[in-house]
Structure 1
Amino acid sequence: MSVLQNELTHLIFLAEVVIASRKKEVMEDTLQCLLYIIKSLPEVEVPDSVAEQIAHLTERIEEKLRQENERIQEIQGNLGQLAKPNSIA
């Protein structure tokens, strides 16, 4: 099945509206549509400036996820310490 250029253009428009307006309630659906398209392509030819932006955004995403993971581990560690009974020797 082919997705026509006008359908892709409309999806790009919707994605830009979602991002600009911070429409969190439809952000997951928007990402899912874009993910389906990306997964269907073996590779994509993009200008160098776009590749640089993608690399920068990828680094930001990875860093934020890493920070979030570290914070969760810190919280779990603190909760684990609270759950242990204090031993008096």
Structure 2
Amino acid sequence: MATHRAPLTNHHADHSLCPPDHKHTSSGKPLHPDCPGRTYSRAVCTCGTWQFKGPGKGYVNESRRRHLTSHAPLTPGGPAVLRALLRLDLP
């Protein structure tokens, strides 16, 4: 199974990419002299069915992580395997 990625990117008001070397305060105000400021952050998953865009970088990152956990492989056997390991079926 392929590992999916959903890289987080920051964007300016004109929708241009804000480079990673443009540092910001937690509110998105620029610390780099040539940066107009981060207006929104965006994450797009390589699965092709999910993307998220929002003004708060933290919320976009949280949503990105939550989505990526949905791609985690399921354990074969589920509860039956756990029952055998934990021996819950004893009399």
TM exceeds 0.5? no
Structure with the higher fraction of residues in helix conformation: 1
Select the structure with the greater relative contact order (CA < 8 A; seq sep ≥ 6): 2
TM-score normalised by the chain length of structure 2: 0.31
